Amino acid sequence: MPLALDPQAWASAQARALALAETAMPEIPRRLAFAATLVEAGSVEHRGQFGQQDYQVHNPDGTACTVHAKNPTTCTCAEWRAHASEKGYACTHILAVRLYTRALELLEPPPEEDGWPPEDAPLPAGEGQPAVVFPCPEAVFSLCLRGTLRGTDAQLTVRGQCEREFLAHVAAVQGLLDPPQGTTALEGGAMPASPAPAPPQEGWCGKHNAPMKLQQGKDGAQWWSHKNGDAWCKGK
């Protein structure tokens, strides 16, 4: 965590930055989740001696990679070198730096009376920090549901700024999508038994109805879990 920051405010800013990134880049949830764990662990460090916009990202195995946050952004890790020919590719370390700088921007106090700037206006970057812009709307919790609505393919996105608001929005859309095919009424007017509940989406704990984070061990193993009181739950 950057010095002189309130831990609760910093954690909230990280969660908001991750939610924005997940909305902007839904195709890479695993890399985003791992990048978020690096930021949460304090592994991203602004290193002025490497350059005004250079950062060092420490890996769980004790090694470190340098991210040159310029245009184009580069990294010294093997992952980025393997994909260097792909335009716009961002390795896990680059994603961690973007989440880190975006979280710093979200700590900026809002205007007192005029409200937030337009959705397409970037927030000011901190001194010496590169501006990273993710599209609005912002949400701490976000869930996408896919199915059909009156026979037409549909996708519902449920968001909330706090757990209570998010769960209330989830409950409000339950039953809105069409039931799965094959659940028509039985003879005599009796309705079939309710289908088995769908397995929880990756990164979501169906047991406690709470989001989980992707964890990574020193041996490279990965798993999803979340803090439940004083214990950790893997959603099982």
Which of 38-42, 179-183, 209-213, 230-234 bottoms out in mean pLDDT, i.e. has the lowest? 179-183
The three state secondary structure string of 150-168 is: CCEEEEEEEEECCHHHHHH
Higher pLDDT, 149 or 60: 60
Residue 127 CB neighbours (<10 A): 6
Mean pLDDT of 131-153: 66
Half-sphere exposure at residue 58, Cβ-oriented, CA atoms within 13 angstroms? 11
Find, among 51, 20, 52, the residue nearest to 35 by Cα: 20
Q: What pLDDT score does 1 carry?
A: 58
Residue 108, pLDDT > 80, answer no
Quote the CA–CA distance of 152 and 177 in Å, as a whole number. 10
Tens digit of pLDDT for each residue in 197-208?
A: 555 567 778 777
| Sequence-ordered list of residues with C-beta below 8 angstroms from that of 157, at least 6 positions apart, any chain | 142, 143, 144, 145
Which of 25-34, 87-96, 187-196, 204-213 bottoms out in mean pLDDT, i.e. has the lowest? 187-196
Q: What pLDDT score does 95 carry?
A: 94
Mean pLDDT of 75-102: 91
| Cα 18 from chain centre | 3
Quote the CA–CA distance of 158 and 150 in Å, as a whole number. 19
Which of 17-21, 137-141, 194-198 bottoms out in mean pLDDT, i.e. has the lowest? 194-198
Quote the CA–CA distance of 122 and 124 in Å, as a whole number. 6
SS3 (DSSP) at 170:
helix
Quote the CA–CA distance of 150 and 127 in Å, as a whole number. 51
Q: What pLDDT score does 32 carry?
A: 92
* Terminal C-alpha separation, the chain: 31
Quote the CA–CA distance of 65 and 207 in Å, as a whole number. 37
Beta-strand ranges (E) seen in 73-133 are 74-75
